[in-house]
Amino acid sequence: MTFEVSGKKAVIIYSAPHVLGLMLCLLLAAASCQAQNIAGRWGATGKTLDNGEVRKAILDLRQAGTQLTGSVTTLGFVATVKGAVIGAHVKIFGPWSDQHPFLVGDVVNGELHLLQDTQDQWVFKPATPADDFPKPTYVDPPTLHKVPYNGLAKTPPMGWNSWNLFAGKIDDKTVRTMADAMVSSGMRDAGYIYVNIDDTWEGIRDAQGNLQPNYKFPDMKALSAYVHSMGLKLGIYSSPGPRTCAGYPASYGHEQQDANIFASWGIDYLKYDWCSAGSIYKNESLQPIYQKMGEALHATGRPIVYSLCEYGLGSVEKWGADVSGNLWRTTDDIRDNWDSMLSNIEKQAPTAPYAGPGHWNDPDMLEIGNGRMSDDEYRTHMSLWALTAAPLLAGNDIRTMSAVTKSILMNKEVIAIDQDSLGKQALPVKNGNLETWIKPLSDGGVAVGVVNLGPAAAQATVHASDLHLAHAVAKARDLWRHQEVEFVNGSYAATIPSHSVLLLRLWLQ
Ligand code: GLA
């Protein structure tokens, strides 16, 4: 979806209802294609958040011919933008993608009617001073020092998180029913202990600056008591910026106050998402800014797992443990598709040496059971997360999951690979369409996963001699077939369907 305009000829690769207008523009004289002038400052209001605040946006646009540059400001965020206006048609790209515009639409009677990629409709009018956002006061990052380890997450954290399935549609009742289902489905007993509320729970701050939940969470303390009564733990979400990624109030300037409130509610896990902090601080400040909340959590005296969510920015693996981080995101957000899942897990390979008991690389939450990958692909997803000692945070509807989804998420033999106390992260070795991952285990054995990346079934042979083992193989099990397999003359061969995995657990003599 890009377009180039060179002289009178335009090359358009495009997919939208405006194709006809643009084609007409191409057929007619160049004058009719002239870009409308939309340089200037535009203000818009969007939908109302769950805490009653109204979303606003300001577009500051400069224009040279058809080309646009400038910035967009929303609650807590400022981002540079570029784009184009052809006739009355407008496309605007953020710094995060040159391929997909995040605002597309038309000039209509002196207004910009733009549809966001999230499907939100914005009507921009010439901005007035009332559209301006209050600027947060700049707070210097603290000087660096080590925050003591909180003693948690000796093995990768396991649980459930609301974002992948519910995004903004999460509330107290859903969390309670999910907690019930974690118990009745067997998830809790399989090790999935944390029930984590992601973004959009936030209300507004009261006169003392205490952050309240919004109407969807009437009583956080009662909710945590309920979740605890089920033998589970409760997680929550915030950002070091003034706003979360969904635009809700976050912890900037209120770090200790928020940590104290979370502790007083009985929170056991905090996911702390960089989001709008990126509009205030450069990436060089990631460590001190995460250190601030690490210290604040430590000061509460409550054991709270600290999950850093910064999309792999700032070489987090090198300092995450120093701010008492128990896990840190190594990649962008996962999507429920094969390419996204695979690229997340492959991308985090260079961070492998930094994973270990107490602090883990996090390639993002699980999509297993959300419906857009095949069962084989979900088995591969689970296997790869286990081989790489990744946190296992289910992101599906536990209340309604199918027998197959249960068999994937609750495969105890695969979970045991993830939770092995040695805490080693496997690395991939590619051979054509076959990718082999080897994870050393605490008893001297290994887990071996062979993924078939290709479009057709493939024959794979695992040679013990390739695995650099200290001793010969005594016993081997196929962890998806749940049966012992035999190494004959030091090797084992199997057919692996497309996008599927052969996952073996080897015990040595
Ligand atoms: C970011 C994070 C996601 C989720 C959303 C919530 O995109 O990476 O995991 O928490 O924010 O807004």
Of the ranges 11-25, 115-129, 333-347, the best mean pLDDT one = 333-347
Q: Look at ligand 1, atom 8, and give the residue with the nearest C-alpha.
A: 333
b or e along 302-341 (b: 16 or more beta carbons within 10 Å of the residue's beta carbon)?
bebbbbbbbbbebebbebbbbbbbbbbbbbeebbbebebb
Please provide the average confidence, as pLDDT, over all residues in the chain.
93
- CA 195 to chain centroid, in Å, comes to 16
Instruction: Please give the Cα distance from 258 to 427 (Å, whole number).
Output: 38
Q: Is 295 in the pocket of ligand 1 (CB under 6 A)?
A: no
pLDDT average, residue stretch 48-63: 95
pLDDT band at 25 (very low <50, low <70, confident <90, very high): low
b or e along 419-434 (b: 16 or more beta carbons within 10 Å of the residue's beta carbon)?
bbeebbbbebeeeeeb
Q: Look at ligand 1, atom 3, and give the residue with the nearest C-alpha.
A: 333
**pLDDT number for residue 218:** 98
DSSP 421: T
- The CA-atom distances, in angstroms, between 468 and each of 35, 283, 440, 471, 473 are 65, 39, 10, 9, 11
pLDDT band at 33 (very low <50, low <70, confident <90, very high): low
pLDDT average, residue stretch 25-29: 53
User: Could you tell me what percent of the chain has a pLDDT over 70?
Assistant: 94
**pLDDT number for residue 151:** 98
Instruction: Please give the Cα distance from 402 to 370 (Å, whole number).
Output: 11
Write the pLDDT tens digit of every residue in 318-369. 999 999 999 999 999 999 999 999 999 999 999 999 999 999 999 999 999 9
The letter for the amino acid at 218 is P
**478 belongs to the catalytic site:** no
User: First CA to last CA across the chain, in angstroms?
Assistant: 58
Q: Is 234 in the pocket of ligand 1 (CB under 6 A)?
A: no
The dihedral built from the CA positions of residue 486, 487, 492 and 496, taken in this order, carries a sign that is positive
Q: Is 469 in the pocket of ligand 1 (CB under 6 A)?
A: no
How many angstroms does the Cα of residue 344 sit away from the middle of ligand 1? 15
Write the pLDDT tens digit of every residue in 260-316. 999 999 999 999 999 999 999 999 999 999 999 999 999 999 999 999 999 999 999
**pLDDT number for residue 23:** 55
Q: Is 397 in the pocket of ligand 1 (CB under 6 A)?
A: no
3-state helix, strand, coil in the chain (%, to 5): 30, 30, 40
pLDDT band at 18 (very low <50, low <70, confident <90, very high): very low
**198 belongs to the catalytic site:** no
**pLDDT number for residue 133:** 86
Best mutation site among 74, 77, 96, 163 for ligand 1, i.e. most ligand atoms within 8 A of its Cβ? 163
Which of 258, 268, 273, 362 does the annotation list as catalytic? 273
Q: Is 199 in the pocket of ligand 1 (CB under 6 A)?
A: yes
How many angstroms does the Cα of residue 309 sit away from the middle of ligand 1? 8
Q: Is 448 in the pocket of ligand 1 (CB under 6 A)?
A: no
pLDDT over 80 (residue 92): yes
pLDDT average, residue stretch 143-164: 98
pLDDT over 80 (residue 32): no
Of the ranges 9-23, 95-109, 216-230, the best mean pLDDT one = 216-230
pLDDT over 80 (residue 317): yes
User: Could you tell me what percent of the chain has a pLDDT over 90?
Assistant: 87
Q: Is 333 in the pocket of ligand 1 (CB under 6 A)?
A: yes
| Residue in the block written with tokens 């939100």 | 120
Which of 180, 333, 375, 376 does the annotation list as catalytic? 333
**pLDDT number for residue 22:** 52
The pTM (predicted TM-score) of the whole model is: 0.91
How many angstroms does the Cα of residue 504 sit away from the middle of ligand 1? 33
**pLDDT number for residue 117:** 86
Q: Is 163 in the pocket of ligand 1 (CB under 6 A)?
A: yes
- Number of helices and strands in the chain (H, E): 11, 28
Q: Is 49 in the pocket of ligand 1 (CB under 6 A)?
A: no
Q: Is 332 in the pocket of ligand 1 (CB under 6 A)?
A: no
pLDDT band at 132 (very low <50, low <70, confident <90, very high): confident
Best mutation site among 102, 117, 199 for ligand 1, i.e. most ligand atoms within 8 A of its Cβ? 199
- Give the atom of ligand 1 at the shortest distance from the alpha carbon of 311: 8
**pLDDT number for residue 259:** 98
Instruction: Please give the Cα distance from 335 to 279 (Å, whole number).
Output: 25
pLDDT over 60 (residue 383): yes
How many angstroms does the Cα of residue 199 sit away from the middle of ligand 1? 7
Answer for the pair 109, 124: CB distance below 8 angstroms, yes or no. no
Q: Who wins on pLDDT, 74 or 195?
A: 195
**pLDDT number for residue 375:** 98
Q: Look at ligand 1, atom 6, and give the residue with the nearest C-alpha.
A: 199
How many angstroms does the Cα of residue 233 sit away from the middle of ligand 1? 20
